[in-house]
Amino acid sequence: MCLIVILLWLKGERKPAIYLALGLIVDAVLVYTLKVIIHRPRPYEVLSIMPLEIVDSFRSLPSGHASTAFLSATILSKFYGKYFVVFFAIAASIGFSRVYLGVHYPLDVIVGAITGRLVGILLVDLLDCFQVGKRP
């Protein structure tokens, strides 16, 4: 997602780049704080499954990938509304992949999606209120 922020910035799309960059920071802080507080083990640590991916960092709830994907879909949809379905289809696919890979429970992905969506909505409203990224 950082690459998308850079590409938007270089393309002259300053406002979406700022919104997305700030959203990613807020989302990362929130998700990792929740992971430390909730401290839920990953499925492969509890169940007798062999994941397709082994994750050594942090815990399971909420899914950081799902949260980032839904945050990004929310913010990008504000600026590029005609791609709304594409953005959210990609986000849902990322969420599904986390369960498929065996590194998250479905609830982890659902909570991550809700977290990302809410952070995106609140951040867009807050930044719009303060007219962040608006040229004088």
Q: How far is CA 55 from the centre of its chain?
A: 17
Whether the per-residue pLDDT at 69 is higher than 70: the answer is: yes
Which pLDDT band, with edges at 50, 70 and 90, does 135 fall under?
low
At residue 55, the pLDDT reads: 66
| C-alpha–C-alpha distance, residues 78 and 18, integer Å | 13
From residue 74, alpha-carbon distances to 37, 54, 71, 102 in Å are 26, 28, 5, 26
Average pLDDT over residues 79-95: 97
User: Would you say 71 and 27 are in contact if contact means Cβ atoms under 8 Å apart?
Assistant: yes
| C-alpha–C-alpha distance, residues 77 and 106, integer Å | 24
Residue 80 gets which letter from DSSP?
A: -
Residue 81 gets which letter from DSSP?
A: G
The tokens describing 37, both together, are 């507080």
Please give the model's pTM, rounded to 2 decimal places.
0.90
Phi, psi angles (nearest 5°) of residue 28: -60, -45
